[in-house]
């Protein structure tokens, strides 16, 4: 009998497996996955057809992505980082955000490493962290004091409690030989 690898034991039902059938059953617009309800523009279809006719473009792509695309990404993003990004060693083209996240987590995490996940978050983060053998540590966004929760509220009504975040960080460096890695998405 087929049995998934142990690293997938923690993976439960993802949100797409629940909401997509519900949206389909009720004729609802599925905003979560971005299914278009209109055809692609003609110029996009024509460009795709033209690309298929170019023999050098209908082969498997190099695993890191086409060099021409990586160089274009380097030229575009280097100014944002105030340094030149090496298109051969610092840029990876993936099929989507989930694949890119998995590649980054598997490339930088070791079993037992802890990963801060700020709630709410994309539901795949938990399973992706688990695949790397790492441990998710959850830190929720909080509603600002004084916000009337019976009324509509906006993203500005939420905040990250820095003291709570600091309390969840490791008190000492992990035993892992890799240095701790942190990414802050926005200034606090």
Q: At what angle do helices 124-131 and 97-108 cross, to 10 degrees?
A: 30
Banded model confidence at residue 186, pLDDT cuts 50, 70, 90: very low
- Domain positions in the chain are 112-171
**Helix or strand holding residue 51 (H, E):** helix 42-52
CA distances from 63 to 66, 99, 104 (A): 8, 12, 14
Banded model confidence at residue 188, pLDDT cuts 50, 70, 90: very low
Q: Tell me, what's the pLDDT at 185?
A: 44
Mean pLDDT for the stretch of residues 163-188: 61
Query: Could you report the per-residue pLDDT of 128-160, keeping only the tens digit for each?
Result: 998 899 999 999 999 999 888 888 888 899 999
Check if the beta carbon of residue 133 is closer than 8 Å to that of residue 111: yes
Query: Could you report the per-residue pLDDT of 22-79, keeping only the tens digit for each?
Result: 888 998 877 777 667 788 999 999 999 998 898 877 778 888 899 999 999 999 999 9
Check if the beta carbon of residue 165 is closer than 8 Å to that of residue 184: no
3-state secondary structure of 152: coil
């Amino acid at each position: 009998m087929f049995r998934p690898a142990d690293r997938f034991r923690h993976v439960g039902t993802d949100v797409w497996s629940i909401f997509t059938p519900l949206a389909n059953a009720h004729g609802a617009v599925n905003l979560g996955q971005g299914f278009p309800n209109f055809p692609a523009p003609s110029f996009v279809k024509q460009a795709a057809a033209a690309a298929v006719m170019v023999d050098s473009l209908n082969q498997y792509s190099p695993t890191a992505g086409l060099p021409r695309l990586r160089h274009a990404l380097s030229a575009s993003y280097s100014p944002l980082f105030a340094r030149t990004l090496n298109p051969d060693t610092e840029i990876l083209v993936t099929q989507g955000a989930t694949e890119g996240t998995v590649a980054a987590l598997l490339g930088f995490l070791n079993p037992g490493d802890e990963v801060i996940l700020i709630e709410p978050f994309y539901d795949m983060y938990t399973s992706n962290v688990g695949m790397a053998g790492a441990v998710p540590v959850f830190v929720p966004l909080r509603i600002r004091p004084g916000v009337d929760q019976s009324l509509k509220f906006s993203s500005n009504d939420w905040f990250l409690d820095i003291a709570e975040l600091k309390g969840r960080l490791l008190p000492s460096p992990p035993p892992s030989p890799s240095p701790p890695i942190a990414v802050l998405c926005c200034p606090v």
